[in-house]
Structures are given as C-alpha cells and as structure tokens.
Structure 1
Amino acid sequence: MEPNQPPPRPRQPEGCLTVAIRVPLRIVVLVLVVPVRMAWDTLVVAGRILRDTVLRPVGRALLWAGKALFVRPFVGLWRHVLVPVGRTLARLGTVLVVVPAGWLYRHVLTPAGHAVAGLARGVGTGLAWVYARVLRPAGHAVTRLLRDIGAVLAAVGIGGYTAVARLVRYLIVVPARWLYDRVLAPVGRALARCGRGVARLLDVIATGIGAALYWTLRVLFVLPALVLWRRVLAPVGRFLAVVAREVGDALGHAWRIAGRVSRAVGRALGTFFRWVFVEPVRWAYRTVLTPVGHLVRDAVLRPAAEGARVLGRAVREALTGARDTVRQARADIRRMLFGEPRQPAAVNRREPQRPAARTLGSSTTALTKD
C-alpha cells in the first residue's frame, strides 16, 4: 500500500435482500448494456475517422480560406491604408490644430490670462482696502451704538419686565402645573393600567388559542405524518436507495465488461479484416505489383522516356536549323531585291584629347622638331 493512499473502508455487512437483488440485476443490465456499449464504441470510432478524414481537412481549408478572405485583406487594409491615413490625419491635426492652438495659448490666452489675473488682484486689493478702511470701522461703530442703546433700554425698563414676568407666572404657569398634577397625570396612569390589563387579557386569550391550535395540528397532522415517515417512507426509501445503489453498481460493472467485450470484438473484426483484405492486398502489392512496376519502369518507361528526350532534342535541333535556313533565305532575297544595306559610318564618340605637356625631349617649334 502506498503511504499517501487512504486505507480502504471496511465493507458493511450485506443482507440477503441485497445479494438477491444484485446477481439477477447485473445479468439483466449486462445483457442490456452490451449492445449500447458496442454501438457507442462504433460511433466513437466512426467519429474519429470522420474527424481525421473529413472534419480536420475541411477545418484547415476553412481556416486557410478565412485567412485568405478576411484576415489578410484586413491586415493589408490596416497596414497599407488605415495606418498611413491615420498618420497623415495625425500630422494634419498637429499642423492644423495643435500648432495653432499652442500658438494661440502662448501668444494670446496666456497674456490675456495674466492681464485678467492682474486686474483681479487689483480689484481684490481695492475691495480689501474698502473693507479694512470703510466697512469694518462702520460696522464697529454700529455695533457699539446698538450695544449702548440696548443698555439704556434695559436700565429704563427693568421694573416693567419684573411685573410682566410675575403676571405670566400666576396666570399661565401655576394653572398649567395644577392641571397637569391634578387631572392629566391621574387620567394617564388610569389609562395606562387599563391598557396593561387589556394587553394581559389578550395575551392569555392568544396563548390559549395557540395551545389549542398547536395540539390540534399536532394530533391531526404531525403525529400521523411522523408515523407515516417512520413506518412507511423511511423503509421504502432505504429499499429504493439499495436498489438505486445496486443499479448504479450494476451499470458501472456492466459498462466496464461491455467495454472489454466491445474491445475484444473490435480487435477480432480488425484482425479478420486485416487477414482477409489488408494482408492479401499487401502481399499482392509486395510480391506482384512492385516487381511488375519495377519491370515496367526499367523495360518500358525509362527507355520510352530516353527515346522521347532524344526525339525531342532532334526535333528542337531540326527546328533550329530550319529557322536559321529560313532566316538566311529571307536575308538573301532582301539583299537581291534591295541591295546591301547601308552600313552606318563609324563615328568617333571619344572626347578630344588634350595636347601632351611639354617635356625636355619634345618641342612644339619647327626648328626643334625631329
């Protein structure tokens, strides 16, 4: 046992019902699954052959056609049209928009902004001077004036204020406090006690009704459902679980056995096809067709090809000689009818040479010439 492999689970004891279900179920499932597995393996082999012989070449052809029809034209359009046009538009945008905008920003907007900023700073400085020199002293003066007027009014009217306060206390505050202590507070406490009593009564009534409904529902529904679950549904569920597990195990076991049977049948059919068709064809190709082909190649095809090459070479030489003869006869006839063609006069196209430089052995005068 490997060190990382978990220990096998201990097998649970199985009853006679499980064993009685397992054997016939596996036999029936095996009989039903073997044709399905063989059909499945046949479809798999056919699908692989179809994929390798039809779908893959068709897919490659479609891929090549897609590249030829879509990818390469789009790539060429991108490289040779869109990119140059984009670069041209970028240059035009730079020349027509960016450069004028930069010039406008540098030579117009920046000086105008500096001028506006200087004007705003001047206006702010003027407003600050007005606030510091005019508005602030005026506000302080108004504040002091109002404070003095309030002090004078307070000193003059303190006696009237005390009389009004006493009148308000005895006419409003004292009756309101008596009404609250003698009438409103007792009435509120009585109403609160009545509400609590009514709430307790409703609570008792609701509790009784809830208990009655609980026991009624428990006796009529819960206990029968519990008995049905324990006595009927649970045993049936366990039986169905055992049947489902056995069916699953039988299907897996039958699928594996059917795979081996299908593999054996496929190998037998492959061997039969090989010995009936492939091997005879291979033997005929190796022992009959290959020697016959070599003989035909060496005895017939190669000499025929060599003769064809010699004949072609002779025909080409004959055609070349006939072409030269016809050309010469045509030249002789032209010469007899029109005479010899005028030969162009030889023209010295070389540049005139400069006179050689004077040396001790040469002279340009008639007395010293040799």
Structure 2
Amino acid sequence: MELHKPPPRPRQPEGCLTVAIRIPLRIVVLVLVVPVRMAWDALVVAGRLVRDTVLRPFGRALLWVGRAVFVWPFVGLWRYVLVPTGRALAWLGAVLVVVPAVWFHRHVLTPVGHAVAWLARGVGAGLAWLHARVLRPIAHAVTWLLKGIGAVLAAVGVGGYTAVARLARYLFVVPAHWLYARVLAPVGRAVAWCVRGLGWLVGMVATGIGLALYWTLRVLFVLPALALWRWVLAPVGRFLALVAREAGDALGHAWRIAGRISRAVGRALGTLLRWIFVEPVRWIYRSVLTPVGHVVRDAVLRPAAAGARVLGRAVREALTSARDTVRQARADFRRMLFGERGQQVAVDRRELGGGGARTLEQRVGRDMSPPTRG
C-alpha cells in the first residue's frame, strides 16, 4: 500500500540579500565543518573498534562474573534453602496453628457463640415484653395526666392571658412599628442615597485618574515601545532569523558534504593502505612464502619425518632385543643358582581331550549316562 505524500510546498521567491548571504556562508561553514566531520568519523570508527574488541568482551566478562557472584548464589539459596525452608515452615504452621485453631473454632467457639446468641435473644425478648407490658402503659398514663392538668390550667387562665397580650401589644409592638416607619426608614433611605452619591463621585474621580494615567503611560511607554518594535526590532529580528536559518541550512548542507568527503578520504586511505601493506604482504605470502613452505615441506620436513620414523622403529627394535636379552640372561642366572623347576604332575580334571571347551550340556549328559560294565 503506497502512502500518499503531501505535495511539495511552492518555493517562495528569494531576494538578492538571501542569495548574497547564503553562498559565502555555505563556503565558510564547509571549510570549518570538513575537519570536524573527519575527526568525528575517525572517532566513530575508533569507538566502534574499541566497543567490538574491548568493551563488549569486557562487558560479557563482567556480566558472567556478576551472574556468578550475585545471581547464581541467590538462585541457589532461593531454590535449595529458602523454598524448602518455607515449605517446611508452612507445613509446621499448618500443623501447629491452623489445625488447632480450626478445631478450637469448630468445637469450642461455635457452641459458645450459639449459646451466647440464644441468651441474647432471650434477654431481648424479656426487654421487649417489659417495654410492651409495663413501660408503655405507665408512659400513656403519665401523658394523659399531664394533658388533663394542662386543660385545667388553660380553662382557668384565659382572661389573664388576653389582658397580658393587649398590654404587651400597646407597650412594645405599636411603639416599635412607629419608630421603624417614622424614624429608622427615612434615616436609612437618606444614608443609602448619600452612600450612592459618594460612590458615584469616587467612581468618576477614579475614572478620570485612570484615563489620565492610561494616556500618560500610553504616550510615554506604549507608543515608543510599539514604534521601536515595529521599525527597529522586527526588521532586525527578521534579518537575524534569516541569517540563523541560512546558517542552519548551510551547516546541514556542509555536514552532509563533509560526510561524503570524509567517506571518500577514508576509502582512499583504505585503498592506499591496502596497496602499500596488504597487497605486498599477500603477494609475498602467496608467491614466496607458500612455494618456499611447500619446498621445505617436501624436501626437508617429510624426509626428516620419514627418517625419524625409521630411527624410532630401529630404536624400538633395539630396545626390544635388549629387553629380551636381559630377560634371557636373568633366567639363565636364576637357573644357574636354583636349578631347573620341578615338572608339574598332570592331574585328571575330567576335562575333554579336544581343543574345545566342555559345555554344560556335555557335562550333564556325561554325568547322567549309565555306567559301563568292565
């Protein structure tokens, strides 16, 4: 599936200032970047060589040592010490704690809990009967008695209550209403109007001061800053942005070109080293050392090896003859001192006369055969 690439952006027309800045800048940057890129490529090659020949084997050795010192002992400790110990402790805890606890809960706590629950239900039933049969009737009786006393008191004190209410109304309610309507309400309205007027006056004064400060600050700071930004800083910033962009493009272009130059120089140096050292050494090995080695092998080493084998065989035979001679002389000396050994008497071992060994079937058949009469 092909991805649809966005269409390239149309290039904007460039002015003479851009071109005049770009070409010298690229030349200068290329001259400055080529040594840096070549040094960088040399450092990269040296770093890769050190990584492949020193750091990677050293890291593998450190990894193996770390495993041998830290990982494997802990693995062995976990696998062969802690896990069996944990299993033994778990079994011991189950036997010493869990099983007795289950038995205690099942045969002691459960019956005691049932007994306590039955006792609590009995006490609750007794308290409910006491509430329903004793306390509730007493409470109803007290309530009925208090209601009767309240009704009697109300019937007796109706006239006195009416006189007290009228007296309180003319002494407190009517003067308070008149004071609120005739004094407090007009005074409050006047105070509110004064406060509103004072607020409007303060607002107008604050507005005037704010407008004066606004225009003063605008004339003294904002307009000069705006003019400075519009007519000085913005053009200088655009110029610096153009220079920075062109410098970045020139640096990238010079870095790529320096990479190609560095690659070409590296290939040339490699070819030169191969022509100066590798090819002569290869030619010497192939054209001189190999034929000389073959001649030395065929003319010197193989005859010397054959001669050494013949000499070794002769030495072994001489040693064998000497060993036999010494053995014979030792036998003659022993015979001279002690004489000949006695002849051993042949004993009938009931063995077969033939060369073959007697088998179990032959022996069993011979033993079970009937004896012959003489």
TM norm structure 1: 0.80
Equivalent of residue 302 in structure 2, options 299, 302, 306: 299
Q: Percent of counterpart pairs with the same letter?
A: 74
Partner in structure 2 of residue 356 of structure 1: none
Any idea what the Cα deviations from partners look like across 1:300-351, whole Å, max 9, x if unmatched?
Answer: 7965996899799989999x99xx99xx9xxx9xx9xxxxxxxxxxxxxxxx
- CA distance in 2 between partners of 1:179 and 1:264 (Å): 110
How much has 1:114 moved relative to structure 2?
A: 1.1
Give the count of matched residue pairs: 326
How much has 1:116 moved relative to structure 2?
A: 1.1
- 1:211 and 1:293, CA in 2 relative to 1: closer, same or farther beyond 3 A? same
- CA distance in 1 between partners of 2:114 and 2:308 (Å): 97
Partner in structure 2 of residue 340 of structure 1: none
How much has 1:286 moved relative to structure 2?
A: 3.5
- 1:282 and 1:138, CA in 2 relative to 1: closer, same or farther beyond 3 A? farther
Is 1:266 aligned with 2:292? no
SS of the residue 1:9 aligns to: coil
Consecutive unaligned residues in structure 1, runs of 5 or more: 336-370
How much has 1:16 moved relative to structure 2?
A: 1.1
Partner in structure 2 of residue 216 of structure 1: 216
How much has 1:80 moved relative to structure 2?
A: 0.3
Task: Show the 5 A alignment for 1:12-161.
Answer: 12-161=12-161
Aligned letter for 1:59? G
Partner in structure 2 of residue 230 of structure 1: 230
- CA distance in 2 between partners of 1:174 and 1:147 (Å): 35
How much has 1:157 moved relative to structure 2?
A: 1.3
- CA distance in 2 between partners of 1:96 and 1:311 (Å): 85
CA RMSD of aligned residues (A): 3.1
Which segment is superposed worse, 277-286 or 166-175? 277-286
Aligned letter for 2:163? A
Task: Show the 5 A alignment for 1:149-298.
Answer: 149-291=149-291
How much has 1:219 moved relative to structure 2?
A: 0.4
- CA distance in 2 between partners of 1:119 and 1:305 (Å): 114
Aligned letter for 1:86? G
Aligned letter for 1:214? Y
Aligned letter for 2:276? V
SS of the residue 2:9 aligns to: coil
- CA distance in 1 between partners of 2:186 and 2:315 (Å): 141
Partner in structure 2 of residue 342 of structure 1: none
- 1:313 and 1:135, CA in 2 relative to 1: closer, same or farther beyond 3 A? farther
- CA distance in 2 between partners of 1:234 and 1:280 (Å): 67
How much has 1:145 moved relative to structure 2?
A: 1.4
How much has 1:96 moved relative to structure 2?
A: 1.1
Aligned letter for 2:11? R
- CA distance in 2 between partners of 1:265 and 1:251 (Å): 20
- CA distance in 2 between partners of 1:76 and 1:100 (Å): 35
- 1:126 and 1:91, CA in 2 relative to 1: closer, same or farther beyond 3 A? same
Which segment is superposed worse, 73-82 or 97-106? 97-106
TM norm structure 2: 0.80
How much has 1:252 moved relative to structure 2?
A: 0.7
Aligned letter for 1:247? A
- 1:69 and 1:163, CA in 2 relative to 1: closer, same or farther beyond 3 A? same
SS of the residue 1:71 aligns to: helix
SS of the residue 1:212 aligns to: helix
- CA distance in 1 between partners of 2:213 and 2:33 (Å): 56
- CA distance in 2 between partners of 1:156 and 1:188 (Å): 47
How much has 1:221 moved relative to structure 2?
A: 0.4
Aligned letter for 2:189? R
